[in-house]
Amino acid sequence: MAYNNILLERDGAVALCTVNRPDKLNALNDATLAELTDAFRSLKDDAAVRAVILTGAAAKKAAFVAGADIAELAEQDALRAKTRAHVGQGLCDLIENLGRPVIAAVNGFALGGGLELALACHVRLASSEARLGLPEVTPLFIPGYAATQRLPPLVGVGRALEMITTGRMVTADEALAMGLVNAVHAPAELMPAAQAMAGKIGADGPLAVRFAMEAALRGRSLPLDEGLRYEANLFGLVSATADMREGMKAFLEKRKAEFKGS
């Protein structure tokens, strides 16, 4: 698929996906959602990719993704709105269940669907200039790409409902204090920090990373005893891999491991 609204690049084991509509502050229209879905499907199938960074192109105002494209939303009927929500939710589920860590480098406005994309990522790093919010209620919408489901467990029900019902944007420092982002960096340091984290993940055993993520994500919906059994099963599986033996051998020999993903 040829991309007009996103950029997809590779640097070794790390993929960089950039929403590239700077004239629209990287807002999500239907075409952009389709391109992002295609890109993340291709990344899911690419065993050589071990970490992904998601960010927004430089715009006239610093923007990660400044929400949905209002011109499209203004013309939708109930059926189209429901379909569009399913598409956005499907993209967010794809990101969350990619099997590799996805780092959101939130370099500016992350509003509405933009914040929902960031919530689907496993780690969120923010520029000090970032502003995050869910302004959908202001033009009489509600969040449609799963913010009502992902935000409360992350920041608490009270803070989530405040953001959802008032539409208030929070600063990067506020987002850090409430646990919405993992770290805040100066604008020039954001991408180097994301790249350093992705590079560190890329050097780790890919099967260990995948199974650890699976245990943590799946465990959220399981009772503790079932979650523990699930973790133990994956612990057993990863212990039977060639990568585990290579990792142990490299550790004992004080050298860098050469993981094959098997």
CATH number of residue 229's parent domain: 1.10.12
Is 116 an active-site residue?
Answer: yes
Cα–chain center distance at 106: 10
Evaluate whether residue 162 is within a structural domain: yes
Summarised one tens digit per residue, pLDDT across range 90-128 is: 999 999 999 999 999 999 999 999 999 999 999 999 999
> Which of the two residues, 136 and 152, has the higher pLDDT score?
152
In one letter, which amino acid is 81? Answer: A
Summarised one tens digit per residue, pLDDT across range 8-51 is: 999 999 999 999 999 999 999 999 999 999 999 999 999 999 99
Evaluate whether residue 261 is within a structural domain: no
Q: How far apart are CA 85 and CA 96, in angstroms?
A: 16
- Residues 194, 216, single domain; the answer is no
Which residue is catalytic, options 35, 129, 136, 231? 136
> Which of the two residues, 75 and 153, has the higher pLDDT score?
153
- Residues 128, 209, single domain; the answer is no
Q: Which domain range does residue 145 map to?
A: 6-202
Mean pLDDT for the chain overall: 91
Is 209:198 a contact under the CB 8 Å cutoff? Answer: no
- Residues 167, 211, single domain; the answer is no
- Residues 44, 72, single domain; the answer is yes
- Residue 199, sorted as left (phi over 0), alpha (psi -120 to 50) or beta, turns out to be alpha
Is 136 an active-site residue?
Answer: yes
Q: How far apart are CA 95 and CA 42, in angstroms?
A: 11
Is 51:103 a contact under the CB 8 Å cutoff? Answer: yes
Q: Is 78 exposed, middle or buried (0-12, 13-18, 19+ CB in 10 A)?
A: exposed
- Residues 157, 225, single domain; the answer is no
Query: What's residue 27's pLDDT?
Result: 92
Which residue is catalytic, options 116, 214, 253, 258? 116
- φ, ψ dihedrals at 154, nearest 5°: -80, -45
Rounded to two decimals, the pTM is 0.92
